[in-house]
């Protein structure tokens, strides 16, 4: 049996950037150095299956506002990011659009949506 | 000439300006925001990445969402907003201040106000500021300009990118450029430590295996019409070492080499500027050297987070209201930046009404200790688990902290980090 791997990581749940040590012990994951509960969740996830928020822009039908900023409503598995980006780059959103509008629902059954993060007007 | 009168005029409609104005309105005084762009929000509108609002709204938002939350508050508070309007000068008058502004729509506009809050934000340093030798081809952008091109206007400025400076905008753009299909070949940082927030190093560089060259400089930019390559040199004893230099072929160079508060307007109004922060010198109430002119947000000193700028601005709005109600501090003590501290903002403290202080360290250290001394006696200590120059430290002082300070009017509070 190989020795359980210890990972040094920096929590990115918030700007405090706690420096954490994460390792396996007796079939459970131990997170040390975190200052809050979000740090423990991040440490466990980053150890087993890292996830990231995705923010980008999509095309619109407007000349005045050619790009609409969007984001995922939660983090998604790192390895699915490229595919999501390709899907987002193929969209063309008809304005107007309100902040919070869902553009992609329940992406690949992850329970994560992609929403608009800016209110953009239609043609005046 | 268009003329309007308010209790308070706020110059700049970004995070700081909006937060200050909302506070002034909440306390019942009339208030106008003057904004140069055609919408409120300032630089937040191009910062499409997440990480905003954790402190202010207890949820993680993108820049535009954070801005729209404040825009809603500005509208609900009944704040007058002058968009596409530039302030040309601030003059003293018998009634208070006169702001001379101009806009395409209204021509010259004069705003009368009893108090003025400066919230104009900052500008990016550019190639001229870092004096990089070489030719002068197209393809050299500041990181914030590139961010605007990609996120707002929908242009991708290049395909093979090198980034100079590890400031947050540069790091964010390393990820952004990667996600739009460009190849980022490296980030070159002159200091031995990163200039940006740690979480940005993690998720914008490490995730994509983008090399970070610490203690390195771009010593030459080459290209006839467009950037063709840059020379990267390690610093040995502070000097670029030619023998260990290497070239990176690229078509685009993004500069993320710091921000400077935009204070031309303030200086012309007679406001004293600090050579360390490039922002106004302010007292414990965020008032500048000109009575009735206050300053907050990135035009005062460069903040790490919009949340901090908004928090500071809200207090500044309250201080401006208090000043108009003739509530002025009976006495204020000077704050001195001691060992390993670059600056403390504000530079004064009211011992009757202590408030929050922001400071930047000069050192990188784990398990550091913040020490406050009054007349060489330690009055407060606090553990800091990790400090680095790029991460602002905030210290909240309470009445309890200061109750046995026995401060004289010429006492100096020295803040140091060990």
User: Which CATH fold topology does A55-116 show?
Assistant: CPE0013-like fold (3.10.530)
Are the beta carbons of B62 and A55 closer than 8 angstroms?
yes
Averaged over A72-82, what is the pLDDT?
A: 93
> Order of strands, edge to edge, in the sheet holding A19-25?
A7-10, A19-25, A28-32
With CB atoms and an 8 Å threshold, state whether B197 touches A14.
no
Could you give the percent of chain B with pLDDT greater than 90? 85
pLDDT per residue as tens digits for the range B219-249 = 999 999 999 999 999 999 999 999 999 999 9
Q: Write down the ipTM of this complex.
A: 0.87
What is residue A15's predicted lDDT score, i.e. its pLDDT? Answer: 60
Alpha carbon separation from A70 to A84, B50, B190, B280 (Å, rounded): 12, 10, 34, 36
What is residue A89's predicted lDDT score, i.e. its pLDDT? Answer: 95
**How many angstroms separate the CA atoms of B210 and B204, rounded?**
8
Token pair belonging to A84: 């999501």
pLDDT per residue as tens digits for the range A25-75 = 988 999 999 988 999 999 998 999 898 999 999 999 999 899 999 999 999
pLDDT per residue as tens digits for the range B42-72 = 999 999 999 899 899 999 999 999 999 999 9
Strands (E), A1-124: 7-10, 19-25, 28-32, 51-52, 55-60, 67-72, 76-77, 92-93, 102-104, 114-116
Could you give the percent of chain A with pLDDT greater than 90? 67
* B278: nearest Cα among B256, B294, B304, B260: B260
Is the per-residue pLDDT at A2 higher than 60? no
**pTM recorded for the entire structure:** 0.92
Are the beta carbons of B250 and B160 closer than 8 angstroms?
yes
Q: Which domains does chain B have, with CATH numbers?
A: 2-123+260-328 (3.50.50.60), 126-257 (3.50.50.60), 334-417 (no CATH)
**How many angstroms separate the CA atoms of B407 and B415, rounded?**
15
CB pairs under 8 A between A and B: 73
- Bridge-based pairing state of the strands B333-337 and B412-417: parallel
What is residue B71's predicted lDDT score, i.e. its pLDDT? Answer: 98
Are the beta carbons of B203 and B178 closer than 8 angstroms?
no
Residue B329: HSE in the Cβ half-sphere, 13 Å Cα cutoff: 19
**Among the partner residues B48, B180, B207, nearest to A69 by beta-carbon distance:** B48
Q: Enumerate chain B positions whose Cβ falls within 8 A of a Cβ in A.
A: 45, 48-51, 54, 60-62, 64-65, 68, 150-154, 176, 179-180, 197-199, 201-203, 207, 304-305, 366, 385-386, 391
* B188: nearest Cα among B212, B222, B170: B212
Report chain B residues whose CB lies below 8 A from the CB of A55.
48-50, 62
With CB atoms and an 8 Å threshold, state whether A55 touches B152.
no
Range 54-73 of A in CB contact (< 8 A) with B? 55-57, 59, 66-67, 69-71
pLDDT per residue as tens digits for the range B37-48 = 999 999 999 999
Report chain A residues whose CB lies below 8 A from the CB of B150.
57
Q: Which residues of chain B have pLDDT under 70?
A: none
Per-domain residue ranges of chain A: 7-48, 55-116
Mean predicted lDDT score pLDDT of chain A? 91
Are the beta carbons of A114 and A74 closer than 8 angstroms?
no
With CB atoms and an 8 Å threshold, state whether B202 touches A12.
yes
């Amino acid at each position: 049996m190989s020795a359980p791997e210890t990972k040094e990581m920096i929590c990115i749940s918030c700007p405090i950037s706690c420096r954490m040590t994460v390792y396996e012990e007796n079939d459970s994951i131990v997170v040390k150095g975190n200052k809050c509960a979000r740090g423990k969740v991040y440490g466990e996830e980053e150890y087993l299956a890292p996830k990231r928020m995705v923010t980008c822009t999509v095309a619109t039908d407007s000349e005045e506002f050619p790009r609409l900023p969007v984001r995922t409503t939660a983090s998604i598995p790192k390895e699915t990011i490229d595919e999501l980006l390709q899907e987002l780059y193929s969209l063309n959103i008809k304005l107007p659009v309100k902040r919070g509008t869902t553009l992609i629902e329940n992406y690949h059954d992850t329970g994560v949506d992609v929403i608009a993060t800016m209110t953009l007007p239609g043609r005046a | 000439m268009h003329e309007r009168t308010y209790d308070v005029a706020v110059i700049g409609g970004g995070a700081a300006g909006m937060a200050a104005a909302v506070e002034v309105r909440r306390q019942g005084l009339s208030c106008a925001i003057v904004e140069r762009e055609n919408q409120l929000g300032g630089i937040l509108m191009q910062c499409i990445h997440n990480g905003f609002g954790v402190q202010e709204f207890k949820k993680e938002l993108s820049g535009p969402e954070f801005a729209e939350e404040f825009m809603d508050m500005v509208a609900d508070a009944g704040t007058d907003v002058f968009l596409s309007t530039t302030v040309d000068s601030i003059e003293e008058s018998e009634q208070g201040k006169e702001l001379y502004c101009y806009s395409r729509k209204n021509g010259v506009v004069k705003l009368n106000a009893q108090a003025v809050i400066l919230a104009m934000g900052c500008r990016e340093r550019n190639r001229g500021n870092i004096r990089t030798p070489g030719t002068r081809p197209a393809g050299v952008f500041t990181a914030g300009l590139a961010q605007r091109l990609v996120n707002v206007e929908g242009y991708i400025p290049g395909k093979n990118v090198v980034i100079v400076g590890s400031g947050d905008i540069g790091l964010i753009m390393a990820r952004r450029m990667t996600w739009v299909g460009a190849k980022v070949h490296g980030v070159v940082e002159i200091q031995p430590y990163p200039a940006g927030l740690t979480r940005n190093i993690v998720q914008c560089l490490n995730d994509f295996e983008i090399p970070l060259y610490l203690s390195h400089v771009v010593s030459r930019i080459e290209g006839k019409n467009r950037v063709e390559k840059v020379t990267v040199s390690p610093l040995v004893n502070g000097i670029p070492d030619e023998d260990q230099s290497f070239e990176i072929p690229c078509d685009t160079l993004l500069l993320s080499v710091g921000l400077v508060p935009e204070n031309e307007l303030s200086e012309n109004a007679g406001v004293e500027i600090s050579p360390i922060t490039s922002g106004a010198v302010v007292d414990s109430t965020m008032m500048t050297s000109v009575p009735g002119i206050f300053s907050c947000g990135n035009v005062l000193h460069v903040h790490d987070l919009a949340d901090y700028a908004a928090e500071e601005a809200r207090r500044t709005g309250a201080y401006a209201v208090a000043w108009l109600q003739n509530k002025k501090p009976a006495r204020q003590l000077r704050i001195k930046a001691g060992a390993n501290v670059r600056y403390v903002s504000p530079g004064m403290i009211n011992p009757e009404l202590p408030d929050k202080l922001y400071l930047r360290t000069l050192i990188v250290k784990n398990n550091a200790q913040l020490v406050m001394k009054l007349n060489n006696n330690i009055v407060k200590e606090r553990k800091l688990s990790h400090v680095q120059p790029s991460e602002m430290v905030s210290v909240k002082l309470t009445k309890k902290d200061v109750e046995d300070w026995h401060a004289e009017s010429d006492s100096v509070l020295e803040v140091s980090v060990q």
